[in-house]
Amino acid sequence: MKKIVWSVLILVASMAGNGAIADDDDGNKQIPAGAVAYHFLGRFALFPPPQGPTLTGYIAFLENVEGPIFSGTPGVDTAHFTIAFGGGPPPVSLDPGSNLRVNLFPPGATFDVYYDATPDQDWSNPATFSDGVLVATFLESALMASSVNELDGSGVAYNLFSNELIYSKKFNFNGEKVDFGKLMRNGVTVNNFASRTPVSFVPFTTAFSGSAIAIGGKDDD
């Protein structure tokens, strides 16, 4: 009889333990190292003082998160996940020659990711990209930005940098819990590609797209 009682207690404890693990499951898995974590689009704009330069954008694809991640037709005003640059140290300009321009940004810049349940972003109003719930903050490594400048003012630009995830907050989205700290706990490496042909001259604005690659680490599964 005692053996039966102990067997039942062990079974109940096991079920309770499994339940705790299930409750702690955020509904999304860690993104494998080297895989695309997310794709995004953005704009860099030089607003007059006191606004100054701004860098804002939105995520168009987020790995291991159930979609849709837009509230309607995909676009800036329907994106649930937005990005806002938090500022950082000034760049160091380098001159390798020809029409190639290179800027090296020291480590220390940050950017934030927001979740907005009712998106209403507008490129002309940078504040709308940070009026959601802050769900992640990344700390940037040194960033190398290279651009080709044509005589007519056009050209292309590319930059590469890694990012450490220094803050994340769990939140509910499409019926599941989402946590950037679980999805990309070791941070991401970002590739940006931009056109130097302005979207507008007042304010002077350029557009870019980018992809973030998950970084591996010792705590990977």
Show the domain range for 183: 30-214
> Which residue in the block uniquely carries the two structure tokens 């006191």?
50
The continuous run of DSSP H or E covering 22 comes out as helix 2-23
Tokens read off for 42 = 């953005």
Q: Is residue 139 one of the residues assigned to a domain?
A: yes
Q: Is pLDDT above 60 for 4?
A: no
Which among 72, 16, 66, 61 has a CA at the least distance from the CA of 39?
61
Q: Is residue 43 part of a domain?
A: yes
d(CA 205, CA 195): 10
CA distance 200 to 41: 17
Cβ neighbours for 23, distance < 8 A, ≥ 6 positions apart: none
Mean pLDDT rounded to a whole number for the chain:
87
Does the residue 130 lie in any domain? Answer: yes
Task: Please check whether residue 130 is in contact with residue 167, taking contact to mean a CB–CB distance below 8 angstroms.
Answer: no
Confidence of residue 13 (pLDDT cuts 50, 70, 90): very low
The total domain count for the chain is 1
Calculate mean pLDDT across residues 41-49: 93
Asked, for residue 62, whether it belongs to a domain, the answer is yes
Nearest to 26 by CA among 137, 164, 181: 181
pLDDT digits (tens, 9 = 90+) for 122-176: 999 999 999 999 999 999 999 999 999 888 878 999 999 999 999 999 999 999 9
**Which pLDDT tens digit goes with each residue over 62-100?**
999 998 999 999 999 999 999 999 888 999 999 999 999
**Cα gap 77→70, rounded to integer Å:** 9
- Residue 175: its pLDDT value, please? 92
Q: Does a structural domain hold residue 22?
A: no
Per-position b or e across 56-70, b if 16+ CB within 10 A of its CB: bbbbbebbbbeeebb
pLDDT at 155: 94
Confidence of residue 103 (pLDDT cuts 50, 70, 90): very high
Q: What are the structure tokens assigned to 46, written together?
A: 């030089």
In a domain? residue 5: no
86 in a domain, yes or no? yes
What are residue 134's DSSP bridge partners?
Answer: 114
Question: What's the whole-model pTM score?
Answer: 0.85
Judge whether 18 lies within some domain.
Answer: no
